[in-house]
């Protein structure tokens, strides 16, 4: 009797499973990310199950900067990652890494900020900028943008006093009254404008300096699993669309992200950071445009890398400027958009 019941149960279970359809296999993707707001789409894709929906099994690992991610690339410890432009410019050619997506062009949120009265005076008389004490994270995209800002005012780095410092230290020192200007990016730029009477003197757009944040794939993974990379990109672009669709919903999710990354940002700073994200985060078609070359001209992303590399060579960080065109691949975004 028991055997008969068990047989009936197994048959019913088998029938239910057949009706539900086969369980899709999940492809493992080792995803690396950073705590910056530009890494938020990966957090969203993971939290909302977009990776799982597209057959991706991943548990994103987070890092404070791009340096350890590049070190891990040499040991083939990740498959796809978020990166800022400088680590890619320095190590991409050597490791044959491929840029497969663009998150933002950070020109808008790399800002040279000063106390409002000083900013107003410099705008009226740029000669007052000569000799200014400027906090900057050296050999970074911020340093690159600062160089462009000074150029717009007819000056060079030799005409001002550079105060090398990391972003957290810059915030504390500038709010304590030190220095004349600070070269910053979010969340520090948003925080400085929320605290005290501070204003933007120049940003990357005014400086004519493009500084993309990017998605990067390891060459071995791209060669062996191109269809998995495509599905990973579909999931991330779903997250990008979700972020753009409803700002208030995005803000609520971003508060969870802020807790996750261990920050204690005020609501004002968080809202400013979300607004910066919404205005700078590229849609799939916009990213594709950045990745695609036109005729004999290199893609906008490759041109950005070239500009940063030229700057790094000038300040002694690099000895040669490689070609970056072959390291930019628009096909994964193109296929994801056609999905």
Does residue 20 have a pLDDT over 90? Answer: no
Does residue 7 have a pLDDT over 60? Answer: no
Please compute the mean of the pLDDT values over residues 90-109 and round it to a whole number: 95
Does residue 10 have a pLDDT over 80? Answer: no
Higher pLDDT: 277 or 13? It is: 277
Question: Beta strands 181-184 and 111-115: pairing type?
Answer: antiparallel
Cis peptide before 143 (omega within 30 of 0): no
Whole-number pLDDT of residue 296:
78
List, in order, residues 6 or more apart from 9 with CB less than 8 Å away. none
What is the share, in percent, of the chain residues with pLDDT greater than 90?
A: 85
Q: Is 285 exposed, middle or buried (0-12, 13-18, 19+ CB in 10 A)?
A: exposed
* Locus of tokens 């050999």: 139
Question: Beta strands 80-84 and 198-203: pairing type?
Answer: unpaired
Does residue 32 have a pLDDT over 90? Answer: yes
Please compute the mean of the pLDDT values over residues 48-68 and round it to a whole number: 96
- Give the model confidence (pLDDT) of 101-147 as tens digits: 999 989 999 999 999 999 999 999 999 999 999 999 998 999 999 99
As a whole number, the mean pLDDT across the chain is 91
Does residue 264 have a pLDDT over 90? Answer: no
Does residue 11 have a pLDDT over 80? Answer: no
Does residue 13 have a pLDDT over 50? Answer: no
Binned at pLDDT 50, 70 and 90, residue 295 comes out as confident
Alpha helices per DSSP H over 21-115: 40-47, 50-53, 67-74, 85-95
Whole-number pLDDT of residue 294:
83
Binned at pLDDT 50, 70 and 90, residue 195 comes out as confident
Whole-number pLDDT of residue 25:
64
Does residue 221 have a pLDDT over 50? Answer: yes
- Give the model confidence (pLDDT) of 232-256 as tens digits: 999 999 999 999 999 999 999 999 9
Alpha helices per DSSP H over the chain: 2-20, 40-47, 50-53, 67-74, 85-95, 116-124, 141-152, 167-175, 188-194, 204-207, 219-224, 226-245, 247-260, 267-280, 284-291, 300-314, 331-338
Does residue 293 have a pLDDT over 90? Answer: yes
CA 117/CA 74 separation, integer angstroms: 48
């Amino acid at each position: 009797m028991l055997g008969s019941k068990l047989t009936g149960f197994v048959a019913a279970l088998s029938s239910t499973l057949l009706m539900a359809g086969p369980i899709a296999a999940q492809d493992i993707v080792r995803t690396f990310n950073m705590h910056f707001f530009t890494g938020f789409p990966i957090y969203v894709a993971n939290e909302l199950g977009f990776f799982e929906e597209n057959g991706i099994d991943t548990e994103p690992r987070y890092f404070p900067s791009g340096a350890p991610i590049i070190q891990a690339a040499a040991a083939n410890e990740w498959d796809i990652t978020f990166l800022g432009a400088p680590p890619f410019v320095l190590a991409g050619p050597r490791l044959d890494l491929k840029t497969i997506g663009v998150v933002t062009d950070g020109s808008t949120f790399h800002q040279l900020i000063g106390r409002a009265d000083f900013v107003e005076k410099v705008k009226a008389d740029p000669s007052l900028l000569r000799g200014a004490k400027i906090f900057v994270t050296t050999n970074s995209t911020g340093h690159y943008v600062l160089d462009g800002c000074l150029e717009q005012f007819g000056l060079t780095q030799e005409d001002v006093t550079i105060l090398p410092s990391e972003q957290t230290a810059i915030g504390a020192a500038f709010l304590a009254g030190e220095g004349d200007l600070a070269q910053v990016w979010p969340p520090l730029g948003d925080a400085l404008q929320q605290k005290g009477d501070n204003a933007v003197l120049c940003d990357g757009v005014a400086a004519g300096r493009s500084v993309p944040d990017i998605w990067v794939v390891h060459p071995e993974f791209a060669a062996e699993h191109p269809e998995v990379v495509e599905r990973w990109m579909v999931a991330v672009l779903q997250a990008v669309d979700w972020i753009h669709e409803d700002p208030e919903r995005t803000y609520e999710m971003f508060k969870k992200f802020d807790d996750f990354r261990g920050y204690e940002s005020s609501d004002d700073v968080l809202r400013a950071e979300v607004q910066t994200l919404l205005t700078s985060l590229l849609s799939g078609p916009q990213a594709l445009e950045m990745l695609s070359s036109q005729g004999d001209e290199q893609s906008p992303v490759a041109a950005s890398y070239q500009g940063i590399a030229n700057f790094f060579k000038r300040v002694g960080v690099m000895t040669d400027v490689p070609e970056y065109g072959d390291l930019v691949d628009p096909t994964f975004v193109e296929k994801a958009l056609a999905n």
